[in-house]
Amino acid sequence: MGTRPGPAAPFHSVHYVLRVLETVFRHGDGVTDTRIASESGLPAAHLPALLALLVREGYVERLPDGAYVTGDSLALLGSCEARARTLEAKVRRSLDRLRDSLGAAVYVSRYVDGEIRVTQVAAGPGTPAVREWVDFEAAAHASAVGKCLLTQLDQDGRRDHLSRHKAARLTSRTITDERALLSHLAGQPPMAPALDLQEYAVGTVCAAVPLTAGATVGALALSLPVERAHRLREAAAALGREAAPLALTLTVQGGRDAWGPSC
């Protein structure tokens, strides 16, 4: 007869699985197998088989760069807070990849309770975010994000917003006449990028496309220094192609709210 494992062996296996999952969960942006082994205490020789099992069952996901992140199965088992963190991390990774591919700072925003909220930003040393020198919620008339969100409202919704946030002149290019602004918004094609050509801030150009996820009014945007303005339309077209996959992630994993799981 072969040697039978000691009675504690299965519990050691479960213990290691939990330690690996805890390690992956702590590192929302991804963690290498070397670090998983170090932090979980699992012998390195046993880790590949365990990670392969967890990937196959959907508890962890292996990214193209080899790092591991939490998978959909683990998110579904977690608390509402854990699911929200998983969704946020997944969106952040998508934005980071988009920032790097476009060579531009990237933003996700939504219209909540009559106000603009920029919920996530992916920027870096070579792709600086626009300096928010005037609150975005007060500058919908001048920013690409704001105009994109307003175009998704009906005429009464737009008028209501502008009645609460008067169109102040921020640069020489800012549209401040309410009638002209409403006409501009009404004439904006539904899926065409909204542009900000130094209307919000001198030295910066921006583009935004609708991010339709569930019932949420949202926008996916980018900004570029004005010296790279020649790239804006090409980058905006690429941004539009990426909006649908991101909206799908938000809708499927976020549920009815789309920016947070329904629990």
Does residue 139 belong to any structural domain of this protein? Answer: yes
Residue 3 lies inside a defined structural domain of this protein: no
145 in Cβ contact with 208 (< 8 Å): yes
Which of 82, 203, 206, 234 minimizes the C-alpha distance to 148?
206
* Cα–Cα separations (whole angstroms), residue 114 to 20, 198, 207, 229: 43, 25, 21, 31
Query: pLDDT value at position 7?
Result: 36
Check residue 109 and give its pLDDT.
Answer: 93
Indicate if 143 and 187 belong to the same structural domain: yes
256 φ, ψ (degrees, to nearest 5): -60, -40
Give me the pLDDT at residue 76, please: 61
CATH value at residue 141 = 3.30.450.40
The reported pLDDT for the residue numbered 257 is 53
73 and 121 inside one domain: no
What residue numbers bound the domain in which 68 lies? 9-77
Residue ranges in the chain whose pLDDT is less than 70: 1-14, 74-83, 213-214, 251-263
- Looking at the chain, the whole-number percentage of residues with pLDDT higher than 70 is 85
If asked whether residues 72 and 177 sit together in one domain, one would say no
Which position has the token pair 């192609």? 241
Tally of domains in the chain = 2
Residues 257-261: contacts with CB under 8 Å, at least 24 apart? 257/214, 257/216, 258/213, 258/214, 258/215, 258/216, 258/218, 259/110, 259/119, 259/213, 259/216, 259/218, 260/84, 260/87, 261/80, 261/83, 261/84, 261/87
Residues 36 and 104 grouped into a single domain: no
Same domain membership, residue 188 and residue 64: no
- Of the candidates 194, 232, 220, the one whose C-alpha atom is nearest the C-alpha of residue 91 is 220
pLDDT of amino acid 221: 97
pTM of this prediction exceeds 0.85: no
Q: Are residues 226 and 150 in the same domain?
A: yes
Residue-level pLDDT at 252: 57
